[in-house]
Amino acid sequence: MAYNLKVEAAKPERFVGGHRLCAGCGAGVAVRGVLRALDENDRSCCGVATSCLEVSSFLYPFTAWQESYIHSAFENVAATISGAEACYTALKRKGKMDESYKFIAFGGDGGTYDIGFQSLSGAMERGHDMVYVCYDNEAYMNTGIQRSSSTPKFAEVSTAPVGSVLPGKMQAKKDLTEVIVAHNIPYVAQSTFTKNFKDLHEKSYKALYTPGPAFMNILAPCPRGWRYPPEDLMIITNLAIETCVWPLYEVIEGEWKLSYEPKNKLPIEDYLRPQGRFSHMFKKGAEWMLEDAQKIVDKKWENLLKKCK
Amino acid sequence: MAIRERLSGNEAVAVAFKQIDLDVMAAYPITPSTEVPQYFSQFVADGHVKTEFVAVESEHSAMSACIAAAACGGRAATATSACGLALMWELLYVASGTRVPVTLAVINRALSAPININNDHSDSMGARDSGWIQIYSENNQEAYDNQIMSVRIAEHKDVMLPVMICQDGFITSHAIENIELLEDEKVAAFTGSYQPEWSLLSGNPVSVGPLDIPQFYFEHAYQRARAMIDSKKVILDVFEEFGKLTGREYGLFEEYKMEDAERAIVVLNSSAGTAKHVCNELRAKGEKVGVLKLRVFRPFPTEEIAKALSHVKAVAVMDKAECFSALGGPVFADVRTACYDLEKRPQIINYIYGLGGRDVKPDDFLTVYNALDEIVKTGHTGEVYRHVGVRGV
């Protein structure tokens, strides 16, 4: 059946309101988008790494999760969900499990690119039938906007502040999606919130219903850390796509597939300007930063186009 | 009829896990516990178990996977030693705080640095306050028996705490001894199947692992502490039932020639055998000496220990772990605390011994008994925090 946002949005919510995430935060949008792709009769067991999402969605005794949910620690959500999936497999083998479950791990970029990286790599390599979803907001937002390996070059964060000598973060963003592609798992995708959520929905469906491990990296902006007005969330994600800062693509059984190619690739300034974390890049004398940032995007985009041909 | 076998401590534990029919074993190799998952993965490869064996990329992930598997209503276990247990540290507290009945075989080994692969108790002693039940094993038979009993204790609704069964690295883990195994069906009948009160996979969604604000954290911590207190009765009940099944009767500790003992050594794990040997030699000479072999260290059997030592004149508590407190070792601290409320307390000293695999000889225990004799004769306790078997002291 063709994708229809109205139909999808009418499904019962699996991650409900009342959670304490900020207005304009991408995390809850990402979770709802992924869970909406579950077939209506299917259940899921979700794990969340310590994060904004975790502390905001299950604050005892209130939970926003209509699915089975487990939080254990910061760096181990992939191992946690792999253990749940292993138990499910064993119980099925022993004839003790009738229900059908999907296994999903959610982590922020800190819990995924950095401290949870080993656990993620191990779980992907072992081939568990699970989906790992990174909601990438490019810094440690839960502890106050510290630098992660996902933070883009020149972004101002609290452990890479803009000073009289240093212009924010000095290193480029790690390309985790490509690192996971190198694990040769059946499905890897990069997505974010597009006009009608079709991209996120279809990729989530493929990730959930492809046997074996799948990984989704979802750009999920943070209004506090990125410094944009909460109502502009979708404007920011759209600019990330149109400037090719966050290309939409998937890698199915090793085959690279571009999901969207902008008709007119916008200059990176259009993406950077609305975000307070990049405001120092628009001061007099900072033109080199814009040039440098543009070069990084162009090079990565060209490489991606080659891979997708 | 019980099965007579000759097994190493590691193999005995692996056999126990096989007979328990674990749902999940998640493990990572580290000397000297490596053989446990090795033997077990052979059982998997040969189709002797229906367990899902997860060859994780670290001990941290091993414990993480076990916690989730137990939260899914499965029986989950792992084995580790030394730095592997240290890497699990964070998750040990998560396991007990989440109230999941994970079981763990700890093959005791010294912590780094300097790196040392040999036996002492610095690993599990460091984890003594993590909310895990700890039971120590003198020999292969005890390690096997304790591991089988561990699931019954952990899964009891009044407990719901994880359990670690400890034995000495190499000394018992690699030494092949005679052992009496239970038949598979007897173990199956004894352990039954885990019937969790809640599970992530029950069909009814449940949320596990919340953020607790100050309004709730304290109550949850108290409940965990309460469960540890209440576990003592469950442990004794399980020991009793196991005794009826096997004829092997276990208590919170073993009192060896303690009835009329004036001098006693408190010790746990394999060194208890050496202590008993020296005790026998001195008894043959008419000396009133005994050994108290501690088995259950968490929960600590406070009243029982105090009662058992109440008639003794001088006690030496042996610690195969330093805790660098300048006060003495961990077993000593607890035994001395237990005796504080006695009207007539024994004089109590502490010996740190056998660190990093240093050979523990009968002469060491002779030194200890002689020191106690000196205390009894002079009435002076002298230095409390002592070392035996180390050069330059």
pLDDT tens track for B103-134: 999 999 999 999 999 999 999 999 999 999 99
| Section A145-154 average pLDDT | 98
pLDDT at A95: 97
Alpha-carbon distances of A3 from A6, A36, A198, A199, A273, rounded to whole Å: 9, 12, 7, 10, 33
Q: Which of B23, B56, B209 sits opposite A87 (nearest CB)?
A: B23
Task: Report the alpha-carbon distance of residue B107 to residue B120 in Å, rounded.
Answer: 10
User: pLDDT digits over B297-315, tens only?
Assistant: 999 999 999 999 999 999 9
What are the phi and psi torsion angles at A37 (to 5°)? -80, -10
Instruction: Please state the domain extents for chain B.
Output: 3-246, 253-388
Amino acid identity at B125:
M
Alpha-carbon distances of A125 from A49, A121, A228, rounded to whole Å: 19, 6, 38
Output the six-digit token pair for A75: 């760096």
Q: Is pLDDT at B80 greater than 80 in this prediction?
A: yes
Q: Is residue A139 very low, low, confident or very high in pLDDT (cuts 50, 70, 90)?
A: very high
Dihedral sign, Cα of residue B165, residue B168, residue B169, residue B170: negative
A87 touches chain B (CB under 8 A): yes
Q: 10 Å Cβ neighbour count for B311?
A: 15
Spatial neighbors of A303 by CB under 8 A, at least 6 apart, are: none
Q: Do B54 and A66 touch (CB under 8 A)?
A: no
Q: Do A72 and B209 touch (CB under 8 A)?
A: yes
The CATH code of domain B253-388 reads: 3.40.50.920
| Section A28-34 average pLDDT | 98
Q: 10 Å Cβ neighbour count for B312?
A: 25
pLDDT at A246: 98
Task: Report the alpha-carbon distance of residue B335 to residue B301 in Å, rounded.
Answer: 9
| Section B6-31 average pLDDT | 98
Residues belonging to chain A: 309
Task: Report the alpha-carbon distance of residue A254 to residue A186 in Å, rounded.
Answer: 7
Q: Which residue in this structure is represented by tokens 């991209």? A: A199
Residues of A in contact with B98 (CB under 8 A): 72
Q: Do B23 and A72 touch (CB under 8 A)?
A: no
Q: Do B50 and A88 touch (CB under 8 A)?
A: no
User: pLDDT digits over B40-74, tens only?
Assistant: 999 999 999 999 999 999 999 999 999 999 999 99
Q: Do B24 and A118 touch (CB under 8 A)?
A: no
Distance from CA of residue A223 to its chain's centroid?
15
User: pLDDT digits over B141-177, tens only?
Assistant: 999 999 999 999 999 999 999 999 999 999 999 999 9
Q: Which of A91, A103, A127, A136 is nearest to A226 (CA)?
A: A136
**How high does pLDDT run on average in chain B?**
98
Q: 10 Å Cβ neighbour count for A211?
A: 9
Residues B3-246, CATH architecture: 3-Layer(aba) Sandwich (3.40)
Q: Do A54 and B211 touch (CB under 8 A)?
A: yes
Q: Which of B345, B321, B342 is nearest to B332 (CA)?
A: B321
B382 touches chain A (CB under 8 A): no
Dihedral sign, Cα of residue A16, residue B223, residue B64, residue B154: negative
Output the six-digit token pair for B294: 């501690």
Task: Report the alpha-carbon distance of residue B250 to residue B256 in Å, rounded.
Answer: 13
Amino acid identity at A121:
S
B241 in helix, strand or coil?
helix
Predicted TM-score (pTM) of this structure: 0.98
B76 touches chain A (CB under 8 A): yes
Alpha-carbon distances of A104 from A255, B38, B354, rounded to whole Å: 23, 30, 47
Contacts 24+ apart (CB under 8 A), B335-341: B335/B266, B335/B305, B335/B309, B337/B302, B338/B300, B338/B301, B338/B302, B338/B303, B338/B305, B338/B306, B338/B309, B339/B305, B339/B306, B339/B309, B339/B310, B339/B315, B341/B306
Q: Is residue B393 very low, low, confident or very high in pLDDT (cuts 50, 70, 90)?
A: confident
B68 touches chain A (CB under 8 A): yes
Task: Report the alpha-carbon distance of residue B264 to residue B269 in Å, rounded.
Answer: 16
Q: Is residue A37 very low, low, confident or very high in pLDDT (cuts 50, 70, 90)?
A: very high
Distance from CA of residue A51 to its chain's centroid?
13
Residues of B in contact with A126 (CB under 8 A): 54-56
- In sequence order, the β-bridge partners of residue B108 are B168
> CB of A127 within 8 A of CB of A215?
no
A58 touches chain B (CB under 8 A): yes
Instruction: Tell me if B3-246 shares its fold with B253-388.
Output: yes
Q: Do A91 and B201 touch (CB under 8 A)?
A: yes
| Section A259-277 average pLDDT | 98
Q: Do B23 and A94 touch (CB under 8 A)?
A: yes
Contact residues, B window 26-65, toward A, CB-based 8 Å cutoff = 26, 50-52, 54-58, 60-62, 64-65
Q: Is pLDDT at B1 greater than 80 in this prediction?
A: no
Q: Is pLDDT at A29 greater than 70 in this prediction?
A: yes
User: pLDDT digits over A193-244, tens only?
Assistant: 998 999 999 999 999 999 999 999 999 999 999 999 999 999 999 999 999 9
- In sequence order, the β-bridge partners of residue B267 are B293
Q: Which helix (H) or strand (E) holds B331?
A: helix B330-339
Q: Do A87 and B68 touch (CB under 8 A)?
A: yes
Q: Is the peptide bond before B114 cis (omega within 30 degrees of 0)?
A: yes
> CB of B237 within 8 A of CB of B266?
no
Task: Report the alpha-carbon distance of residue A69 to residue A302 in Å, rounded.
Answer: 40
> CB of A74 within 8 A of CB of B94?
no
Q: Which residue in this structure is represented by tokens 């083998």? A: A93
**Minimal CA separation from B222 to chain A, in Å:** 16
| Section B349-373 average pLDDT | 98
Q: Is pLDDT at A1 greater than 70 in this prediction?
A: no
B5 in helix, strand or coil?
strand
User: pLDDT digits over A39-51, tens only?
Assistant: 999 999 999 999 9
B2 touches chain A (CB under 8 A): no
Task: Report the alpha-carbon distance of residue B194 to residue B183 in Å, rounded.
Answer: 20
**How high does pLDDT run on average in chain A?**
97
B69 touches chain A (CB under 8 A): yes
